[in-house]
């Protein structure tokens, strides 16, 4: 206890000037969990005093910690400890404003982002096409223009804001035939005045115009059951499964039947 108390006093003598800064995300965390995140964010085996900022993207708050890493001879290894210190007002303000802006901009596109037929007429086209998924991601990024709606952050590093992807922020897209899919924010890239966002297709999010799951694997395709509003919609699903999952490695068979609710399609292994 005496060693720890003395070390904390020593930490208090250091100012933040010249300290190496580290940034970590800890969403919805308690104070002890934030302290642990602060300790984890700095080098474990390098003695020194470090500033660590722990960001909570759910609560839209950032808390600063002073972390000390020192070699304990008696224990024969390095130890770390963190104390809570005031967060600079300009950093707290910039973090709050930027995160709110990113969330609001993505939410404004969340309900329905139409994809032009020239890029892809249907979600069926992209389930197994990584290049087309990239084209749609690029289209979203070009039309979202998040960074143009907010001031470029100066105090909070872009690499730190990139951790907002832990929230799984997503955008729903709709194709000309009424089918839908979801793309999740997976990264930020670039610099202060040229930032791009990376969205990736979320596996299992592809749905046809009737809301039926479009299977992304043979396991999802058998067993399978869906109700379609038209015979054409039902046949589109059957054709897709036959194309991708009815080979030698995945011998599946599908059948359709007219019911009171529409056309029911069931698929199973042979």
Determine if the pTM surpasses 0.95. no
Do 258 and 192 share a structural domain? no
The separation between the first and the last C-alpha atoms of the chain, rounded to the nearest angstrom, is 69
Q: What is the pLDDT of residue 152?
A: 59
Residues sharing a CB contact under 8 Å with residue 6, sequence separation 6 or more, in sequence order: none
Do 102 and 186 share a structural domain? yes
Q: What is the pLDDT of residue 148?
A: 56
Q: Which portions of the chain are predicted below pLDDT 50? A: 1-18
Q: What is the pLDDT of residue 113?
A: 84
> Within 10 A of 143 (CB to CB), how many other CB atoms are there?
10
Residue ending a domain, choose from 46, 70, 86: 86
CB 85 within 8 A of CB 8: no
Residue ending a domain, choose from 201, 227, 249: 201
CB 55 within 8 A of CB 95: yes
Q: What is the pLDDT of residue 263?
A: 96
Residue ending a domain, choose from 71, 86, 101: 86
Q: What is the pLDDT of residue 9?
A: 34
Do 222 and 170 share a structural domain? no
Residue ranges making up the domain that contains 193: 93-201
């Amino acid at each position: 206890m005496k060693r720890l108390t003395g070390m904390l006093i020593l930490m208090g003598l250091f100012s933040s000037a010249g300290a190496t800064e580290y940034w970590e995300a800890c969403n919805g965390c308690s104070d002890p969990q934030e302290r642990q995140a602060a300790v984890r964010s700095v080098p474990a085996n390098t003695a020194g005093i470090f500033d660590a900022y722990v960001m909570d993207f759910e609560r839209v708050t950032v808390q600063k910690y002073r972390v000390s890493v020192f070699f304990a001879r008696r224990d024969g290894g390095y130890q770390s400890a963190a104390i809570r210190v005031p967060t600079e007002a300009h950093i707290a303000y910039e973090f709050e404003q930027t995160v709110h802006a990113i969330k609001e901009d993505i939410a404004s596109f969340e309900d329905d982002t139409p994809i032009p037929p020239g890029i892809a007429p249907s979600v069926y086209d992209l389930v197994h096409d990584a290049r087309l998924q990239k084209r749609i991601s690029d289209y979203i990024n070009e039309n979202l223009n998040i960074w143009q709606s907010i001031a470029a952050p100066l105090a909070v590093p872009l690499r730190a804001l990139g951790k907002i992807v832990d929230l799984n922020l997503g955008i729903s897209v709709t194709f000309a035939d009424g089918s839908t899919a979801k793309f999740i924010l997976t990264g930020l890239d670039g610099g202060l005045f040229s930032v791009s966002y990376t969205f990736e297709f979320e596996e299992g999010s592809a749905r046809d115009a009737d809301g039926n799951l479009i299977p992304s694997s043979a396991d999802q395709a058998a067993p399978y059951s869906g109700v379609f509003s038209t015979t054409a919609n039902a046949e589109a699903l059957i054709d897709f499964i036959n194309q991708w999952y009815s080979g030698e490695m995945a011998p599946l068979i599908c059948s359709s039947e007219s019911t009171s609710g529409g056309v029911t399609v069931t698929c199973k292994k042979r």
